Chain A
Amino acid sequence: MIAISTFTVFSQMLFAQTAIADGSPGFTHTPLFWSLILGTFGLWLLLPAGATPVRAIGALSGAFSLVMLFLAAPLAGWGDVLAAGDLNRETPALIVALLSLLTIPVALAAAFTRGKAFVVLGALTIVLWLASIAGIAVFKFSPPLRIILIIAFALAGMLLYFPGARRRQRAVGVLLATLALGLVASLAPGLGDEVEQALFGVLATLVVVSAVATISMRSPVYSAIWFAVTLLTTGGILLLEGAAFLGVATVVVYAGAILVTFLFVLMLAQPEGHAFYDRISWGPYAVFVAALAGAATVGGLTYRVMSLDERMIAQEAPAMTKTQDSSGVSPAGNQAAARLPGGDDHMIGLGGNLFGRHLIAVEAAGVLLFAALVGAASINIKRKEEPPSVARSPAPNPTSAAT
């Protein structure tokens, strides 16, 4: 089944490539392609089946591929910048090289702390902030001073507040962090383009890193905790996308309710110590094929996405469409109709839509939730009058009394 899906996706990719190939540069020359290859390799080595040093190599190459992948989007629009004539042709390669150098501090942090996950995450965040600021400075040719100040304050605050610091240091750290927060708040009202981009870069990378950590942790408890990080950052991304209610709902419903249920079941069903099946999964071959299938899926999806630009423009040219500029400062045109309201009107619009047009679906969802409640309860009810069933359990079951 895996092989079939891989083959399907690959053939789709090839088809898409040949269909759009004329005029556009070849797919193999984009950073996207190489980042996919590197990422597959990294995921293969990282997933639980290998020894620890092998997994370290996997993590490094995965991080490198991530940097390249996030560069793919700005580089796709690089043609416009080139056409403006401000920059020369070597600049993208230069930026790629510089940003890939930035992964070195993360690796150093990982080496010095012997892989303490949250320290590495913190270092990664800081490096990302710096990288995104550097990227914006390159793109805009004007260093946004306030953002640099915020980052400096936040960085110093984090460093001073680290566990192990003395009390006075911690106080200074809290002070600096508060300053940084205040500066962020001063930026907030018109969440500017640069800030949104920087926030997006950080959040997106944290999402992907924590997602990979979720599937590569050997202990399922750590997996669940990393998944919580994924959910929180996904909530942040939804907020950035202007879906405020959904962002909050993700944090409350997913991270607050569903994930806690997961952890509860995990604690209930966790055998003593680490289980062997978390260490080996299905063996290296299956892991490799799976990583390949995942990369093919992502490659197919992103290749379509990256070629979206040209198709959209081609579509836009003959007729007036609903697309428009989200920056809000675009010249007035045919674009009053189709923008989702933000701010206070967001909830009004959402609620009106949910309980107006989708009212029956809401009722159906209520019925579904109730049915799920009853079903979940009835699955685990023990019937007393049944004769003792022929259990196939190899181990005695210590937790059945708990349900």
Chain B
Amino acid sequence: MHDVASLQNYLLVGALLFGVGLVGFIVRRNMIVMFLCVEMMLQGVAVSLVAWGRFQGDWGGQMLVIFAIAVAACEAAIGLALILALYHQSGRLDVAFWQDLREEGQPAYVDRQIPEEPQDERAWPKLTPAGIEPAIDEGERERRRHRTAV
């Protein structure tokens, strides 16, 4: 593959990751998912940086990504602690709960119509049973009976 073409491909992927993360950050209301989207944007930037570094034959791109990972780790720790504190105050992860921090004169956002939860999503996923159930011998049965009695 030609070098410029390869660079273009990697930059394309980086841009897509960044864009998808941006959309997710704007759209979602769950604070943790918003945080995930920010991390996704960071990933997009990392892909682009490494691609440019490879193209230019320079270590700078990779260095920057290494420090970005370190900062992202810090950010995740602090951010999640803050999210947990907010959750303890409000009881939910909804970012719209905190809209009374908005600027003066702004209208409040009100949920117009909450759709019903689809029927197939109300059931939680189950694990398929795996392995063989061991045969229960006399001693084990005795122990279980004892435990239920206590």
Q: Show the binding face of A for B, using Cβ within 8 Å.
A: 2, 43, 47-48, 51-52, 69-70, 72-74, 76-77, 163, 193, 196-197, 200, 204, 207-208, 211-212, 214-215, 218-220, 223-224, 227, 230-231, 234, 237-238, 241-243, 245-246, 249-250, 253-254, 257-258, 261-262, 265-266, 268-269, 271, 273-283, 286-287, 290-291, 293-295, 297-298, 301-302, 305-306, 308-309, 312, 322-327, 337-340, 349-350, 353-354, 357-358, 361, 365, 368-369, 371-373, 375-377, 379-380, 391-397, 399-400, 403
Chain A: CB-nearest residue to B72: A258
Is B73 a contact partner of A258 (Cβ separation < 8 A)? Answer: yes
Contacts of B53 in A (CB 8 A): 243, 340
Chain A: CB-nearest residue to B83: A265
Other A-B pairs beyond A207-B17, A243-B65, A274-B121, 4, CB < 8 Å:
A241-B51, A249-B69, A281-B27, A399-B87
Chain B: CB-nearest residue to A372: B74
Contact among B9, B12, B29, B66 with A282 in the assembled complex (CB-CB below 8 Å): B29
Is A326 a contact partner of B6 (Cβ separation < 8 A)? Answer: yes
Chain B 107-150 per-residue mask, 1 if CB under 8 angstroms from chain A, else 0: 00101111101100110000010000000000000000000000
Contacts of B17 in A (CB 8 A): 207-208, 211, 230, 234
Interface of A is mostly: helix
Is B67 a contact partner of A361 (Cβ separation < 8 A)? Answer: yes
Is B36 a contact partner of A223 (Cβ separation < 8 A)? Answer: yes
Q: How far is the CB of A277 from chain B (nearest CB, A)?
A: 4
With A and B bound together, what is the CA distance between A73 and B5 in angstroms? 7
Contact among B7, B20, B70, B94 with A208 in the assembled complex (CB-CB below 8 Å): B20
**A–B Cβ pairs within 8 angstroms, 29 of them:** A52-B118, A69-B16, A73-B5, A76-B5, A208-B17, A214-B40, A220-B33, A230-B43, A241-B50, A242-B54, A245-B62, A246-B46, A246-B69, A249-B69, A254-B43, A254-B72, A261-B76, A265-B80, A277-B29, A302-B11, A302-B12, A312-B4, A361-B63, A369-B70, A375-B81, A376-B77, A376-B81, A377-B81, A403-B84
